Structure 1
């Protein structure tokens, strides 16, 4: 990128935009807007996202003991959300100050952001397909929905997510622009536009179009099967995964739309500094909203997952109430044993529940 390149956003995906020989927009207002908006919101996301997803991992590993394919996918989804959380303090600082963390962390954290993005949606897709198999192809699911297959597909999914994230690691670097250091994408000068377009299109296709098509197909077949069977247990089985999918689209679709408009603005309409500024603010707001999504899944589990609520209650009674009420250990111990007995190895083998 040449000297006519202006970086308007201090965001994790930090794409640089080159406006050729035209006078670049200053983007000062957008910088101030980001400096006020991002740090406090990112801080809240870190607190709630870290706490919620760590509790999900604790419940799945300690109490559920990863006895079903659904448990494996939910565990990996929580890990994907944590990848977002761990990088947010750096981006929150960068929104206000220069990038002071060096080029290595610039590349690593940019890759972590993309890895969390791709792996998260991939595991939501796997959870949707898991529900599809369990409900629509129940006989086949008895053989296919095993912990071994769940582990294998999870490993393959992480490999694919890493490969999809490689361009973010390769092309992100630090650079001094004016009086400050930035961490952003710098593509080869002879194919900058093509790289920028392919980067955003890949995010839009893998993060929005493909999962939406899979969701429409899977849940249309699931609903047909449920309407024929009228099985209340199966209906409850779909609810959790359906809500996870819906909330993903609610929180991520605005960012996909705004990033598409921002990248292709020169092809869609005649941009000026006002329009560019509004699109910059739109990306800042929608990407912050998308970050909040990593806190949402634990909340869904708490409201929809009956087993999750019981396990969580048992955990707090045993480990929190134990310190607050040392004279009543029998109460929380009894509750824990009762909850643990509700999920046995035999039921795990034919589990069609939500997994939580």
Structure 2
């Protein structure tokens, strides 16, 4: 995924295994020579406005994403493990999705430091670890969003068959398979990314074995197919079938479930379609189909902005997949009520307890009236 790691690890071109730089095709937000050169056209492009913009805006953005992503996903993990006690396939997928997002979130402090200092100061081992961890988090998060859509499809559309396969055991097995696939497709980053010195600047960049951008183009297409095209196809099929099935239902949760379906699909399209379009255009540039200076300047800026947009998705997953669920909100309210009681134990405890019990009883009535749709969606 050449484009998505451009901001994370800051690079322009890449080196082949002999140490010679290929003509740059993607520009870093900070750690690069403020431009690039087309040998076949004898054109040099000045891109000083991009690092100036990135060095002031992106550190602030990624610091905010780190805090919100860490709090939101950690809260999901805490509720699922400590309070809810993972018992269902949906819980297993939700837990793994939060872990996937945390993998990405933990790479953000390195991104912030890199954006400010313009130097990779963490060593070659951390260069490989952070780059591969980022890719593993990206792919696993996308895969778990996809399989959660399949899980919802089975629960609502194929409810009879779902009774046999929607078990915790199958959830654990399929999660292990997803992690294995995510690690496998991210393995090239562990191998290619290395710490290197360029013009007295230490960078963490990929060293590809070819000099014609073949591996970079393959990496972009891999993201386009595995990280967007296939998941979008599955999401559209599953949620189209779910919506058709919901139209036949006459439950109070019907419209809430339909709204959630639209939110899931729209958010995925909104945050991941722009970066995939830009990555596809970057592949055209790698193949020299796009080779003019002005388009390349705009494409590099588009890479910066669409990557930043896609990073926000890791903070929205807890809101979309956890906090809107009836069961999860119930456990979350009970957790806050429990700790509120503990904090107010020296105050008017009995009055607070009476009010809490009233709310708790009404909550039980409401949850008992919720349908199977609320527990799944």
User: Which residue of 274, 280, 293 corresponds with 1:260?
Assistant: 280
Q: Distance in 2 between matches of 1:235 and 1:147?
A: 28
Do the aligned residues in 2 keep the contact of 1:4 with 1:19 (CA within 8 Å)? no
Change (3 A) 1:208 1:265: same
Do the aligned residues in 1 keep the contact of 2:66 with 2:106 (CA within 8 Å)? yes
| C-alpha displacement of 1:181 | 1.1
Matched position secondary structure for 1:132: helix
Using the TM superposition, name which of 323-332 and 279-288 deviates more: 323-332
User: Which residue of 268, 271, 278 corresponds with 1:251?
Assistant: 271
Q: Distance in 1 between matches of 2:82 and 2:266?
A: 28
User: Which residue of 141, 144, 167 corresponds with 1:146?
Assistant: 167
Using the TM superposition, name which of 45-54 and 278-287 deviates more: 278-287
User: Which residue of 223, 226, 234 corresponds with 1:206?
Assistant: 226
| Alignment-derived partner of residue 9 in structure 1 | 28
| Alignment-derived partner of residue 197 in structure 2 | 176
| Alignment-derived partner of residue 123 in structure 2 | 102
| 1:253-332 matched pairs, under 5 angstroms | 253-265=273-285, 267=287, 270-301=290-321, 304-319=324-339, 322-323=342-343, 326-329=346-349, 331=352
Q: Distance in 1 between matches of 2:80 and 2:257?
A: 17
| C-alpha displacement of 1:103 | 1.0
| C-alpha displacement of 1:351 | 5.6
| C-alpha displacement of 1:317 | 2.8
Do the aligned residues in 1 keep the contact of 2:92 with 2:168 (CA within 8 Å)? yes
Do the aligned residues in 1 keep the contact of 2:152 with 2:376 (CA within 8 Å)? no
Q: Distance in 1 between matches of 2:94 and 2:214?
A: 36
The structure richer in helix per residue is 1
Please report the TM-score for the alignment, with normalisation by the length of structure 2: 0.82
User: Which residue of 98, 107, 124 corresponds with 2:145?
Assistant: 124
Using the TM superposition, name which of 257-266 and 132-141 deviates more: 257-266
| Alignment-derived partner of residue 132 in structure 2 | 111
Q: Distance in 2 between matches of 1:342 and 1:20?
A: 72
| C-alpha displacement of 1:39 | 0.5
| C-alpha displacement of 1:290 | 0.9
Q: Distance in 2 between matches of 1:343 and 1:266?
A: 57
Change (3 A) 1:251 1:329: farther
| C-alpha displacement of 1:205 | 0.8
Question: Does 2:89 match 1:69?
Answer: yes
Aligned residues: 348
| C-alpha displacement of 1:279 | 1.4
| Alignment-derived partner of residue 49 in structure 2 | 29
| C-alpha displacement of 1:294 | 0.8
Q: Distance in 1 between matches of 2:96 and 2:30?
A: 25
Question: Does 2:235 match 1:221?
Answer: no
Question: Does 2:133 match 1:133?
Answer: no
Please report the TM-score for the alignment, with normalisation by the length of structure 1: 0.86
Q: Distance in 2 between matches of 1:181 and 1:339?
A: 60
For the aligned residue pairs, the C-alpha RMSD in angstroms reads 3.2
Give unpaired runs (5+ residues) of structure 2.
1-14
Q: Distance in 2 between matches of 1:68 and 1:339?
A: 25
Change (3 A) 1:351 1:108: farther
Summarize deviations over 1:259-279 as a string: whole Å, max 9, x none.
Answer: 221232265754333322221
Do the aligned residues in 1 keep the contact of 2:87 with 2:168 (CA within 8 Å)? yes
| C-alpha displacement of 1:185 | 1.6
Q: Distance in 2 between matches of 1:112 and 1:326?
A: 46
Change (3 A) 1:30 1:335: farther
Do the aligned residues in 2 keep the contact of 1:70 with 1:354 (CA within 8 Å)? no
Do the aligned residues in 1 keep the contact of 2:132 with 2:190 (CA within 8 Å)? yes
Matched position secondary structure for 2:208: coil
Matched position secondary structure for 1:9: coil
| C-alpha displacement of 1:5 | 4.4
Do the aligned residues in 1 keep the contact of 2:239 with 2:261 (CA within 8 Å)? no
